[in-house]
Amino acid sequence: MAWIAGLFISFSTLPCLPTLTSFHINMVVPTKKAMNQRLASWTLVVGLFVVSCVAELERFEHAGKPDGSLSFLVVGDWGRRGHYNQSQVAFQMGKIGEQLDIDFIISTGDNFYDNGLTGVDDPLFHQSFTDIYTAPSLQKQWYNVLGNHDYRGNAEAQLSPILTKMDNRWLCLRYFVLNAGPEIAEFFFVDTTPFVTKYFTDPEDHVYDWKAILPREKYLNNLLMEVESALGESRAKWKIVVGHHAIKSAGHHGNAKELNIHLLPLLQTYDVDLYINGHDHCLQHISSSDSGTQFMTSGGGSKAWRGDVSWWNPQELKFYHDGQGFMSVEMTPTEVSIKFYDVFGNVLHNWSSSKQLSFAI
């Protein structure tokens, strides 16, 4: 990890952060006892915050199917009270979710527009989440990251166990690891908004909730060190990194240069299979020419930007859809299959890959 120290030569020592407890999520809908245990663990985390100076990524586990497979949906940039076709996307997600018997759902951020939540009592949580994703197949665990719009409100409200108590599907942290299968795939959820410099230097008329982020350099240095450590320790068959901002994108926002500098080298060094993001309101697949990582954008949960696409190397840009939709992922230890769906449930693009199992001698 010495190269990170060189990369962040202006960063000072690590901040005092909590040692986080581990959770194990093996059921679709947690029991009341499990919910109480989770809330108690959150209380413990708050208590540890003031006394501990050792940080590590919080870890979760999610069981796969008895046949050794795993399936889930990915949606991003969605929370608009059902408007801009959010309800229609949710309806199709419910249908596909039932067909695939999905295990969970991933949100790539910008969960509530336009300015996140005002607090844990904001009715937008129910209006844009609980009251929209009502299909039986979507009553599974949701693993969420924050987007830049979420930081324009009370970001910590989305991290609160109070929301989980109101809707037990909801789980959102700044960054964490999900071991699914177990060990079919390991997901590394990364808080990408603090990487983007313009939110700090040119916020325009927006007010960002940076309370837990500052000093920024310490926060980012700690995040990257923990992500690298987790990637290096991972023995999962598939490694997947999830963030809000794009590393490679032909969409409106394009590449986040800060992620190309600081996060992309980790994907390359540790043979990450997929980087999944939102932010650009489109569906997109870019195959990197300089690594084996596939870059998947699922940011079509509601409002989309018709015709807003930049030129990209056609050898890398495998698919681009400037409309609403979502993606599905089906996995086994040796196979992965990804499909992109539009607002009508049509399959627009699919991609699959395989790898051999390795055996210790």
Distances (CA, A) of 219 to 16, 21, 23: 10, 19, 23
d(CA 108, CA 241): 11
Asked whether residue 148 is marked as a ligand-binding residue, the answer is yes
Asked whether residue 77 is marked as a ligand-binding residue, the answer is yes
Asked whether residue 103 is marked as a ligand-binding residue, the answer is no
Q: Of the listed 83, 126, 245, 253, which one is catalytic?
A: 253
Query: In a 10 Å sphere around its CB, with 0-12 CB exposed, 13-18 middle and 19+ buried, how is residue 179 labelled?
Result: buried
Could you tell me which of 309, 310, 236 has the C-alpha nearest to residue 62? 236
Could you tell me which of 219, 224, 218, 262 has the C-alpha nearest to residue 12? 218
Asked whether residue 281 is marked as a ligand-binding residue, the answer is yes
> Which residues, in sequence order, are CB contacts of 255 under 8 Å at separation 6+?
246, 247, 248, 249
d(CA 27, CA 61): 10
Asked whether residue 221 is marked as a ligand-binding residue, the answer is no
Asked whether residue 322 is marked as a ligand-binding residue, the answer is no
The question of whether 349 is a catalytic residue gets the answer: no
Q: Are the C-beta atoms of 206 and 152 separated by less than 8 Å? A: yes
CA dihedral 116, 156, 326, 129 (to 10 degrees): -70
Query: Binding site membership for Fe cation: which residues?
Result: 77, 110, 113, 148, 244, 279, 281
Query: Binding site membership: which residues?
Result: 77, 110, 113, 148, 244, 279, 281
Q: Which active-site residues does the annotation give?
A: 253
